[in-house]
């Protein structure tokens, strides 16, 4: 392990700097991190270095991306640079890289700054050929940066992509979509003696949730293992009422995860219809409506990626690249059990294995 640790020294130096950037989605400074990454990428003499700031909705600060291009790229390596919130329970500062034996701890090490560091480390040894590296923000909530990149046209000509997410260095080929909705019902409120005649927002919200529960039940056998069912989730129902007060507002936050091959727009239309069936004046805000993902042609990768091919339990932006016509897989160091939790870590041998694969991609193995 000492040999690996010495080989990986520059990668770990990159990872230390990356972890120190607070890029917690919605509160951190993703623009500053991207500026630092652009500077790091510029040292490897890309033919083009495109740096863009991207505005976000819902009051979030700007995010950004950097795209480095060598030659006429056919293949793309993509890593998101934002993280989830650190949460409670850390035994050290989440923004400080801590090396412990055969692993390194810190916020984002596993999801997925380790991959960004491994790519930078690999650039120190590989000669990039007809390849692009995209380091982008805003993946963990909202995903507003990737659509902006796709709209820009900078990825036109890219045929294959490796989207880096923690797969334990296995090849992720499919995952569910994600549809989340916030539904609000309102009324004048009042004393509960009026409740037989006054609008009942909380009753509407709970009817909506109950009918969505029926929809869930009706679709338990929909799809194919391991993606059976729609994963309908009633996440939150709130109101300002009391047992003797008719509420003026009630709101429900719900989601479902359509399986690969399913159509998220049709599910969204169903959810809207169910919300309106409870009350026609429901105020409906679709928080996200992300398509499911399945690799278009896995054989384009399996010659080089000889690791196990797996289905993934989480959504990734490979979905968006695939929708844009790019043949994509998901691959990266670390795994979900190590990420999104206190003392997040990535094992050094995983970083080492991923770096070797990224070096191949940079060298033109998919181009």
Which residue in the set 54, 69, 112, 174 belongs to the binding site for Zn ion (CB under 5 A)? Answer: 112
Listed ranges 110-118, 179-187, 258-266, 343-351: which one lies at the site for Zn ion (CB under 5 A): 110-118
Q: Closer CB to Zn ion, residue 31 or residue 112?
A: 112
Q: Closer CB to Zn ion, residue 67 or residue 312?
A: 312
Whole-number minimum distance, CB 63 to Zn ion, in Å?
14
Whole-number minimum distance, CB 121 to Zn ion, in Å?
19
Do the Cβ atoms of 253 and 205 come closer than 8 Å? no
| Position closest to Zn ion via CB | 111
Q: Closer CB to Zn ion, residue 262 or residue 344?
A: 344
For residue 234, the tally of other CB atoms under 10 A from its CB is 16
Whole-number minimum distance, CB 101 to Zn ion, in Å?
25
Whole-number minimum distance, CB 266 to Zn ion, in Å?
27
Whole-number minimum distance, CB 79 to Zn ion, in Å?
9
Whole-number minimum distance, CB 336 to Zn ion, in Å?
9
Do the Cβ atoms of 44 and 72 come closer than 8 Å? no
Residue 30 as a binder of Zn ion (CB under 5 A): the answer is no
Listed ranges 18-26, 159-167, 183-191, 271-279: which one lies at the site for Zn ion (CB under 5 A): 159-167
Q: Closer CB to Zn ion, residue 25 or residue 279?
A: 25
Whole-number minimum distance, CB 123 to Zn ion, in Å?
21
* H, E, C per residue of the chain: CHHHHHHCHHHHHHHHHHHHCCCECCCCCHHHHHHHHHHHHHCCCCCEEEEEEECCCCCCCCEEEEEEEECCCCEEEEEECCECCCCCCCCCCCCCCEEECCEEECCCHHHHHHHHHHHHHHHCCCCCCCEEEEEECCCCCCCCHHHHHHHHCCCCCCCEEEEECCCCCCEEEEECCEEEEEEEEECCCEEHHHCCCCCCHHHHHHHHHHHHHHHHHHCCCCCCCCCCCCCCEEEEEEECCECCEECCEEEEEEEECCCCCCCHHHHHHHHHHHHHHHCCCCEEEEEEEECCEECCCCHHHHCCCCCCEEECCCCCCHHHHHHCCCEEEECCCCCCCCCCCCCCEEEHHHHHHHHHHHHHHHCCCCC
Whole-number minimum distance, CB 137 to Zn ion, in Å?
12
Which residue in the set 82, 111, 138, 317 belongs to the binding site for Zn ion (CB under 5 A)? Answer: 111
Q: Closer CB to Zn ion, residue 111 or residue 344?
A: 111
Q: Closer CB to Zn ion, residue 79 or residue 183?
A: 79
Size of the site for Zn ion (CB under 5 A): 3
Whole-number minimum distance, CB 111 to Zn ion, in Å?
4
Q: Closer CB to Zn ion, residue 144 or residue 165?
A: 165
Which residue in the set 82, 138, 144, 165 belongs to the binding site for Zn ion (CB under 5 A)? Answer: 165
Binding mask 243-282 for Zn ion (x = CB under 5 A): ----------------------------------------
208 phi/psi in degrees, rounded to 5: -55, -50
Q: Closer CB to Zn ion, residue 138 or residue 165?
A: 165
317 phi/psi in degrees, rounded to 5: -75, 0
Q: Closer CB to Zn ion, residue 30 or residue 111?
A: 111
Point out which residues bind Zn ion (CB under 5 A).
111-112, 165
């Amino acid at each position: 392990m000492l040999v690996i640790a010495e080989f990986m020294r520059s990668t770990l130096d990159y990872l230390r700097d990356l972890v120190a950037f607070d890029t917690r989605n919605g509160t951190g400074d993703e623009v500053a991190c991207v500026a630092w990454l652009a500077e790091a990428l510029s040292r490897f003499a890309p033919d083009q270095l495109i740096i863009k700031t991207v505005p976000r909705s819902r009051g979030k600060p700007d995010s950004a991306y950097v795209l480095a291009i060598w030659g006429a790229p056919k293949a793309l390596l993509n890593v998101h640079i934002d993280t989830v919130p650190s949460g409670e329970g850390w035994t050290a500062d989440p923004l400080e890289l801590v090396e412990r034996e055969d692993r390194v701890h810190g916020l984002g090490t596993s999801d997925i700054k380790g991959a960004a560091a491994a790519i930078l480390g690999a650039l120190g040894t590989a000669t990039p050929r007809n390849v692009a590296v995209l380091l982008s923000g805003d993946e963990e909530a909202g995903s507003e940066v990737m659509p902006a990149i796709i709209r820009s046209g900078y990825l036109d000509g890219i045929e294959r992509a490796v989207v880096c997410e923690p797969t334990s260095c296995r090849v992720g080929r499919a995952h569910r979509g994600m549809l989340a909705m916030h539904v609000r019902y309102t009324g004048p409120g009042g004393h509960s003696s009026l409740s037989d005649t006054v609008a009942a927002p909380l009753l509407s919200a709970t009817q909506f949730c109950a009918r969505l529960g029926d929809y869930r039940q009706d679709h338990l056998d929909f799809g194919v293992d391991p993606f059976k069912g729609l994963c309908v989730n009633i996440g939150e129902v709130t109101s300002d009422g009391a047992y003797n007060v008719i509420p003026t507002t009630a709101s429900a936050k719900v989601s479902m995860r359509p399986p690969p091959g399913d159509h998220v727009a049709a599910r969204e239309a169903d959810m809207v219809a169910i919300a309106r069936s409870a009350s026609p004046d429901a105020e409906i805000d679709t928080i996200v409506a992300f398509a499911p993902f399945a690799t278009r042609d896995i054989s384009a990768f399996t010659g080089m990626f000889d690791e196990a091919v797996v289905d993934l339990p989480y959504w990734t932006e490979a979905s968006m690249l695939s929708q844009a016509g790019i043949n994509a897989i998901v691959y990266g160091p670390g795994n979900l059990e190590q990420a999104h939790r206190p003392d997040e870590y990535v094992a050094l041998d995983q970083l080492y294995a991923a770096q070797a694969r990224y070096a191949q991609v940079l060298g033109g193995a998919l181009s």
